[in-house]
Amino acid sequence: MIFCLPHIRHTNDGVGLGKALTRGKNVSEKRLFQVVRSDSPNDMIQLRRIVQMVEPSVNWTLAAKTLWYWNDRSKRDLLEDYFLNQPK
């Protein structure tokens, strides 16, 4: 959690990490799939690179929950949140 949180800005909106990445600087699906398919610790390193690039505004409570319980389910939830909030 401490690995990524310094690069995340807080907002009081209910914005999760996946939704914030859709608002970012063109985070490609390939990069996100790379995170999801990677094993520990490379998955977290790749996620941190994306977060550093985008500097998203996220509700820290939601982001902390995702990062604290980082596992295969969290990765799927991140990917799902990303795709459900794609701009049309």
Which residue from 45, 44, 16, 50 is spatially nearest to 30, judged by alpha carbons? Answer: 50
Give the number of domains in the chain.
1
Task: Say if 2 falls within a structural domain.
Answer: no
Task: Say if 8 falls within a structural domain.
Answer: no
Q: What is the per-residue pLDDT across 52-68, written as a single tens digit (0 to 9) for each? A: 998 989 998 888 898 89
Q: What is the per-residue pLDDT across 67-77, written as a single tens digit (0 to 9) for each? A: 899 999 999 99
pLDDT band, very low/low/confident/very high, at 84 (cuts 50, 70, 90): very high
Task: Say if 70 falls within a structural domain.
Answer: yes
User: Mean of the per-residue pLDDT values for the chain?
Assistant: 89
Task: Say if 5 falls within a structural domain.
Answer: no
How much is the pLDDT for 86?
85
